[in-house]
Amino acid sequence: MGYVKLAIQGESHLGIVNTDQITYITQGIYGASIHFSSGEYLVCDGDLDEVAEKLFGTPQPLKVTESYLIGHPKPD
């Protein structure tokens, strides 16, 4: 299990996240949101790339697969 301390929006302003429970991360108008397998989510300070780098380390290049290309234009 990996735990990461992050700045979050809300009353406490800090949170510790169990990275094993993360389902996906999205970018919204209020910041990056971390969604968990339980259905709960946290809105973090910072953009998607900053939060992903704190959670998972160095960002990996996007791997384009057939399922990704459905509804998405093919990158150059």
pTM to 2 decimal places: 0.69
* pLDDT confidence of residue 68: 47
Whether the CB-CB separation of 44 and 31 falls below 8 Å is answered with yes
Phi, psi of 16, rounded to the nearest 5 degrees: -110, 125
Q: How far apart are CA 51 and CA 33, in angstroms?
A: 9
Q: How far apart are CA 32 and CA 50, in angstroms?
A: 9
Whether the CB-CB separation of 44 and 32 falls below 8 Å is answered with yes
pLDDT per residue as tens digits for the range 28-75: 888 899 999 899 999 998 888 888 888 888 665 555 554 444 455 555
Q: How far apart are CA 40 and CA 63, in angstroms?
A: 27
